[in-house]
Amino acid sequence: MVTAQMKKKLPDLEAWAVFAKVAETGSFARAAAELELSQATVSKTISRLEARMNVVLVQRTSRSVSLTDTGHAALDRAINILEHGQAVEAEITEQSTSLRGLVRISLPVSFGISRLSPILSNFLTMHPDIELDVEFSDRQVDLIEEKFDFALRIATLIDSTLLARQLCQVRILLVGSPTYFKRYGKPRHPRDIANHKTLKYSYTRGRQGWRFLHKEHGEFSQVNPVQMQANNADALNYALLAGLGMALQPEFLVWDGLQSGTLETAMDDWQVEPLSLHIVAPPGRKRPIRVQALIDYILQSLTKEPWAHFIEGAPAGTDRTQPLS
């Protein structure tokens, strides 16, 4: 008789799978060998299942094992439990050790669209059995709560529970169009910026002004008149090309314009603190091979980018993943 207490218990799936293997092999010893268990463990598992169900499933003799009528009635479902369990483990093992399955990532908008999208497309071309779910957002997503495999961040890292790998540094350049500089001239010192029109990224560090460093003259901060402010750095590029002002932009975003001559730099002897590009991932080093393969491919691709500056003493390709402090 099945009691109310028994109904509340989880089914003993392991015992039913062992029962199915005993029925398949017709022997406790052979079942134990195939399951890599001791014969005593198999025997105790069957006894535990029979005690739980208050029935006899297997008739034991010194020479053979046979099923009772109740055992025969339960066999098909027990076999399904064994086969479904084996199938689940086989599928998960395959996905964790092969280049197939879903990878969820979060990327900053400007960098992700302009520089990572081609890299992701190339990766999918090489590995068509991988699926990507990409969120382009400048917010710092909760990797664990939102179930992301990893994220790229160009920001100061805060969450000490995450693992992080610094990929490279990105220079911040003061740029404008040739048309703008022909009309207003190029500033030579940060104080000259007060006489210029500027285009500003809303979330830039030092919101009250721009901070520059010089090898000989030290630090200088300048509050500047803002012609346009935007929370997306891409939007500023159109205003730059239209000659509406100067802007501090990450090098990856203006690289093509600098190469084509549609943009120019100014005050090259004054530096702005560079940004660091990180890959961040949930804690735990064991990642599916498809996730690690994408991380490695992104890193390898970035080493070919002329705007990516790698830290001396930490060669590209070195795994520098570590807990944040």
Query: At the topology level of CATH, where does 4-97 sit?
Result: Arc Repressor Mutant, subunit A (1.10.10)
Phi-psi region of 300 (alpha: psi -120 to 50; beta: other; left: phi over 0): alpha
Reply yes or no on whether the pLDDT at 212 is more than 90. Answer: yes
**What residues form DSSP beta bridges with 221?**
211
Q: What is the 3-state secondary structure (H, E, C) of the chain?
A: CCCHHHHHCCCCHHHHHHHHHHHHHCCHHHHHHHHCCCHHHHHHHHHHHHHHHCCCCEEECCCCEEECHHHHHHHHHHHHHHHHHHHHHHHHHHHHHCCCEEEEEEECHHHHHHHHHHHHHHHHHHCCCEEEEEEECCCCCCCCCCCCCEEEEECCCCCCCCEEEEEEEEEEEEEECHHHHHHHCCCCCHHHHHHCCEEEECCCCCCCCEEEEECCCEEEEECCCEEEEECCHHHHHHHHHCCCCEEEEEHHHHHHHHHHCCCEECCCCCEEEEEEEEEEECCCCCCCHHHHHHHHHHHHHHCCCCCEECCCCCCCCCCCCEECC
How far is CA 210 from its chain centroid? 32
pLDDT category at 325 given cuts 50, 70, 90 is: very low
Supply the pTM of this predicted model: 0.64
Q: What is the pLDDT of residue 230?
A: 87
Q: What is the pLDDT of residue 223?
A: 81
Structure tokens at 22: 């005993």
**pLDDT: which is higher, 45 or 86:** 45
Contact 151, 105 (CB under 8 A): yes
Instruction: Tell me how far apart the alpha carbons of residues 322 and 143 are, in angstroms, rounded to a whole number.
Output: 16
* Domain extent listing, the chain: 4-97, 104-325
Reply yes or no on whether the pLDDT at 267 is more than 90. Answer: yes
Task: For residue 210, give the amino acid letter.
Answer: W
pLDDT in tens, 60-81: 877 778 899 998 899 999 888 8
Instruction: Please give the average per-residue pLDDT across 158-162, as a whole number.
Output: 69
**pLDDT: which is higher, 175 or 321:** 175
Query: At the topology level of CATH, where does 104-325 sit?
Result: D-Maltodextrin-Binding Protein; domain 2 (3.40.190)
Q: Which of 107, 129, 161, 193 is nearest to 118 (CA)?
A: 107
Instruction: Please give the average per-residue pLDDT across 250-263, as a whole number.
Output: 94
pLDDT category at 297 given cuts 50, 70, 90 is: very high
pLDDT category at 159 given cuts 50, 70, 90 is: low
Instruction: Please give the average per-residue pLDDT across 74-90, as a whole number.
Output: 83
Least confident span in 155-159, 199-203, 281-285: 155-159
pLDDT category at 5 given cuts 50, 70, 90 is: low
Which residue reads 């739980």 in tokens?
A: 52
Q: What is the pLDDT of residue 181?
A: 96
pLDDT category at 1 given cuts 50, 70, 90 is: very low
Reply yes or no on whether the pLDDT at 38 is more than 50. Answer: yes
Instruction: Please give the average per-residue pLDDT across 123-143, as a whole number.
Output: 91
